[in-house]
């Protein structure tokens, strides 16, 4: 079949006698830009043919169209001119890239889209809002895991594509496949999965690709996340091919990602991106592309319906690395506007009111809200529709019956003191290390290249000090909201346990919002932690963030925090030391500040030297010299990697971060010495020491990865790591290994998928247009490994809290894969134990709602006489099972050897 020959003279045909009516929306969206719904529970492999044995699926449905006499006439009435905005219904197929589309459409359409998941509305409800309320101008169907042949994967989308022939629709990836499937095309396995990889695309010049170049070397490179495709040979006459690959996947991302993304310059390490592959870098000749052989191996990348305004693209225009992706969404807006303008009627000159746009915006963005307030004299008050949950059911918090606390802050600064008294190690050991119980140290032990600047430390403090220990109940899951038990101990030793029906994060959210404070009191402080909660959130709290369940129960508490009212902060850049104390307004004491200042000024550099012997060379705590035992053998881990590859092949996931644990019995009388040994062996910018003696729990963390930070300017930042290589034995070998990592298509694909995932997570809670990627795939070097690190930032929306931001992004995407919800479900089915603290986060929540949290990796957890270390790696279609096992072992090297050498 010659795809390029099947063209029509116009984009689509439609009955010109019908016109469109724009009515005022009769509902107000409370949080239209936030959506983290519970994941649809489904069988992982239910024998429906999606396990790899059955590779072809097709659909021949009866086209039972809507009754045209009433619904179409009611919907299609006059539009005199192009509107200032376009109202989109965005259907989320439980994907981890939907909110990248949301961000794009918010800027291009003039108002944010309304996001619903594919099982939120019944067909009757959708028809009500679409045809009775005339609430939307077009529909976008998101990507997603699985197949359009599976009802649980595609939800209401097939019926939309079949029945809504009078509404412009754009399907992306899974939505594109659904457009083909619903009209009888076959959806088949691609010749190879292509996730996070780029291809050049050529197109036929139709309106969806207006202004976009075409073909090889044109600059039109797109990111693909798919393992299934529409079989072009089965394409019915009613569907017209409009785009296809002009080459197979490219060997690397290219000389640049994009000139600009959402108005922000994309900064990259330009040494990463090469259009021609360098075989001397050691990446192997298998990645070289023979363009002569691939010239005719074209994959269908776009289709449109011959008579309806329905389009589909197989690639991801919303990806940060897709060129001209924004233009595609702009063109779809133009298609929508042109479609409705075809129904212009000369006898109706009524101008459409801009108040419609405001009802769409709601509280999604101050920018749009203020814009439409300034451009409309009257804003119509509208009612909320029945059974519609706009916004995020997991981000709603109830602040009724809250006991507000007025906190005061006092602080003192000591210029250039840290170096004089032996540095952070000396300060911690002298002030808090003699009796290290109930202590914390958020330790920027690696400050090279500006990776980190501040360290925070403290112990059991003043009257506000308390410890919070939370354990999920046995029945906690994403559906029943089983909650869990919170144990609280105050500074006097009084303890109580309460049941939290809403879970720990809801409790923490209410606690933080109960604090009143004066911003002027911390003016002059260069850091954002001024006192508050310090501790960790375990991986299993994913059930409070959208995951459906935990297959395994953690032995350690699921969250554990101190409320630190007294702390020491060190500015490593300027060598300054700060003492901070917070207290309730009714009390005013400087006793801790006075005592600690006196101790601090008595410290000398020689004191630090005296500490070297007991902490750096401690006596062995056991004569048992056996090594660690792994939860999974090498053979089992490799088998699980192969299972991941099968899931990826069948479209169930793009990337799966498979992990395991190694364990060893341990008797430690001085776990602080173990941590000091680890920080010396493997310094890291987001390292941490936490000691919870009541739980018989110590955490020695040397993490190089930031999960999420919110600063005082309400800027969110994530710095995911994906792509790891060992350091070389010689300078030349080290240089070659670093270059190999820079040029690795596999590692670039891993990193890109997580960058797009984090953009999505930040997009849930950030102002439209603010999410950007200032640094993409920087390669950073640490003591034992090279890593590929990216940076994603965005401006937090004013109507969401600090904890809302964490819930939108937890667990960190670099530890799950994408799409996140489906990937976590798959990983739960494979992994043999709870991850516990590993894969969670450690850090602080300041009382003024700033926070900084790491990803718990390269960490030794000592609990009830056992040391455990978690490790894993991202499995993608390009993964080699044996190499994945070796990478996992590499990541355990520094913490495991620290434990063994310490004995």
Residue linked to tokens 């001209």: 324
Taken in order 72, 78, 82, 87, the sign of the CA dihedral is negative
- Consecutive H or E run containing 605: helix 605-616
Among residues 163, 318, 714, 717, the one annotated as catalytic is: 318
Cα 562 to Cα 193: distance, rounded to the nearest angstrom: 46
* Termini Cα distance of the chain: 70
Backbone angles phi, psi at 750, to 5 degrees: -55, -50
Q: Which residues, listed in sequence order, are joined to residue 268 by a DSSP beta bridge?
A: 776
How many H helices and E strands in the chain? 21, 38
Please tell me whether residue 576 adopts helix, strand or coil conformation.
Answer: strand
Token pair 């592959």: residue: 277
- CB neighbour list of residue 778: distance below 8 Å, 6 or more residues apart: 268, 269, 788, 789, 790, 791
Q: What is the dihedral of CA 650, 652, 654, 660, to 10 degrees?
A: -110
Distance from the Cα of residue 575 to its chain's centroid: 34
818 in Cβ contact with 756 (< 8 Å): yes
Q: Which of 164, 173, 206, 698 is catalytic?
A: 173
Please check whether residue 475 is in contact with residue 482, taking contact to mean a CB–CB distance below 8 angstroms.
Answer: yes
- 847 CB-near residues (< 8 Å, 6+ apart): 407, 512, 515, 517, 530, 531, 532, 582
| 83 touches 337 (CB < 8 A) | yes
Check if the beta carbon of residue 787 is closer than 8 Å to that of residue 704.
Answer: yes
Instruction: Single out the catalytic residue among 183, 195, 226, 316.
Output: 316
Catalytic residue status for 203: no
Neighbour tally for 75: CB within 10 Å: 22
Take residue 597 and report the two structure tokens written for it.
């200042």
Q: Could you tell me if 399 and 410 are in contact, meaning their C-beta atoms sit under 8 angstroms apart? A: no
Do β-strands 655-665 and 817-818 pair in parallel, antiparallel, or remain unpaired?
antiparallel
Sign of CA dihedral 810, 815, 820, 822: negative
C-alpha 464/C-alpha 492 separation (Å) is: 10
Alpha-helix residue ranges (DSSP H) falling in 68-156? 73-75, 98-109, 123-127, 151-154
Burial 610-634 (b: 16+ CB within 10 A, else e): ebeeebeebeebeeeeeebebbbee
CA distance 489 to 486: 10
DSSP designation for 270: G
- Which residues have C-beta within 8 Å of that of residue 586, sequence separation ≥ 6? none
Which residues have CB under 8 Å from 347's CB, separation 6+?
none
What distance lies between CA 477 and its chain's CA centroid? 21
Say how far apart CA 309 and CA 94 lie, in whole Å: 25
Tokens of 447: 């400050």
How far apart (Å, rounded) are the C-alpha atoms in residues 792 and 754? 10
The answer to whether residue 572 is catalytic is no
* 377 in active site: no
For the annotated catalytic residues, the residue numbers are 173, 316, 318
């Amino acid at each position: 079949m010659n795809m390029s020959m099947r063209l029509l003279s116009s984009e689509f045909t439609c009955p010109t006698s019908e016109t469109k009516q724009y009515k005022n929306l009769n509902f107000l969206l409370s949080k239209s830009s936030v959506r983290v719904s519970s994941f649809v529970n489904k069988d992982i492999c239910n024998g429906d043919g999606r396990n790899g044995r059955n590779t072809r699926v097709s659909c021949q449905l009866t086209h039972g169209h809507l009754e045209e006499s009433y619904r179409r006439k009611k919907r299609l009435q006059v539009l005199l001119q192009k509107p200032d905005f376009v109202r989109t219904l965005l259907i989320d197929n439980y994907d981890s890239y939907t909110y990248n589309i949301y961000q794009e459409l918010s800027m291009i359409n003039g108002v944010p889209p309304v996001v619903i998941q594919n099982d939120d509305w019944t067909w009757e409800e959708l028809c009500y809002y679409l045809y009775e309320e005339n609430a939307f101008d077009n529909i976008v169907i998101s990507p997603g895991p699985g197949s359009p042949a599976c009802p649980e994967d595609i939800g209401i989308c097939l019926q939309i594509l079949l029945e809504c022939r009078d509404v412009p629709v754009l399907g992306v990836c899974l939505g594109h496949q659904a457009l083909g499937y619903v009209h009888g095309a076959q959806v088949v396995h691609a010749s190879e999965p292509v996730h996070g990889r780029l291809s050049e695309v050529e197109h036929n010049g139709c309106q969806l690709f207006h202004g976009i170049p075409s073909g090889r070397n044109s600059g039109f490179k797109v990111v693909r996340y798919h393992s299934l495709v529409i079989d072009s040979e089965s394409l019915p006459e009613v569907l017209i091919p409009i785009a296809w690959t002009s080459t197979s996947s490219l060997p690397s991302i290219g000389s640049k990602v994009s000139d600009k993304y959402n108005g922000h310059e994309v900064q990259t390490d330009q040494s990463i991106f090469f259009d021609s592959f360098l075989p001397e870098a050691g990446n192997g000749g298998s990645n070289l592309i023979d363009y002569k052989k691939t010239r005719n191996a074209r994959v269908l990348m776009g289709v449109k319906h011959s008579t309806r305004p329905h389009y589909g693209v197989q690639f991801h225009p919303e990806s940060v690395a897709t060129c001209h992706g924004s233009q595609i969404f702009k063109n779809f807006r133009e298609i929508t506007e042109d479609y409705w303008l075809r129904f212009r009627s000369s006898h109706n000159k009524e101008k459409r009111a801009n108040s419609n746009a405001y009802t769409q915006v709601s509280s999604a963005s101050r920018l749009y809200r203020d814009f439409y307030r300034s451009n409309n004299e009257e804003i119509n008050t509208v009612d909320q529709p029945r059974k519609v949950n706009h916004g995020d059911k997991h981000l709603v918090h109830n602040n009724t019956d809250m006991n507000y606390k007025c906190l005061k802050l006092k602080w003192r600064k000591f210029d250039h003191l840290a170096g004089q008294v032996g540095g952070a190690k000396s300060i911690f050991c002298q002030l808090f290390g003699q009796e290290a119980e109930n202590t914390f140290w958020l330790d920027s032990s690696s400050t090279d290249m500006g990776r980190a600047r501040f360290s925070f430390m403290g112990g059991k403090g003043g009257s506000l000090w308390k410890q919070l220990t939370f354990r999920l109940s046995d029945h906690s899951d994403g559906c029943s909201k089983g909650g869990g038990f919170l144990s609280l101990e105050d500074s006097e030793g009084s303890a109580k346990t309460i049941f939290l029906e809403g879970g720990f994060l809801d409790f923490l959210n209410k606690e933080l919002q109960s604090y009143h404070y004066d911003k002027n009191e911390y003016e002059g402080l260069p850091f954002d932690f001024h006192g508050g909660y310090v501790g960790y959130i375990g991986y299993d709290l994913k059930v409070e963030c959208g995951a459906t369940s935990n297959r395994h129960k953690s032995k350690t508490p699921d969250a554990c925090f101190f409320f630190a009212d007294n702390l020491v902060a060190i500015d490593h850049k300027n060598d300054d030391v700060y003492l901070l104390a917070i207290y309730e307004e009714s009390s005013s004491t400087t006793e801790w500040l006075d005592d600690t200042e006196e101790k601090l000024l008595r410290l000398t550099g020689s004191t630090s030297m005296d500490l070297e012997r007991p902490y750096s060379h401690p006596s062995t705590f056991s004569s048992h010299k056996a090594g660690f035992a792994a939860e999974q053998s090498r053979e089992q881990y490799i088998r699980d990697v192969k299972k991941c590859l099968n899931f990826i092949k069948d479209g169930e996931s793009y990337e799966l971060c498979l992990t395991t644990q190694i364990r060893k019995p341990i008797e430690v009388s001085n776990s602080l010495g173990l941590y000091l040994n680890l920080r010396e062996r493997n310094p890291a910018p987001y390292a941490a020491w936490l000691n919870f003696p009541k739980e018989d729990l110590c955490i020695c963390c040397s993490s190089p990865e930031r999960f999420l930070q919110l600063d005082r300017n309400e800027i969110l930042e994530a710095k995911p790591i994906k792509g790891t290589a060992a350091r070389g034995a010689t300078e030349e070998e080290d240089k070659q290994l670093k270059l190999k990592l820079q040029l690795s298509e596999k590692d670039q694909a891993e990193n890109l998928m997580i960058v797009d995932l984090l953009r999505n997570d930040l997009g849930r809670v950030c102002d439209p247009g603010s999410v950007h990627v200032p640094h993409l795939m920087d390669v950073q070097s640490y003591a034992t490994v090279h890593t590929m690190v990216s940076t994603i930032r965005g401006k937090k929306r004013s109507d969401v809290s600090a904890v809302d931001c964490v819930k939108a992004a937890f667990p960190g995407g670099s530890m799950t894969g994408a799409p996140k919800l489906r990937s976590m479900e798959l990983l739960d089915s494979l992994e043999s134990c709870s991850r516990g603290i590993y894969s969670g986060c450690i850090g602080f929540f300041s009382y003024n709602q700033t926070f900084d949290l790491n990803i718990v990796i390269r960490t030794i957890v000592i609990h009830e006489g056992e040391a455990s270390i978690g490790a894993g790696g991202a499995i993608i279609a390009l993964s080699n099972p044996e190499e994945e096992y070796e990478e996992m072992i590499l990541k355990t090297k520094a913490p495991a050897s620290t434990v063994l050498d310490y004995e």
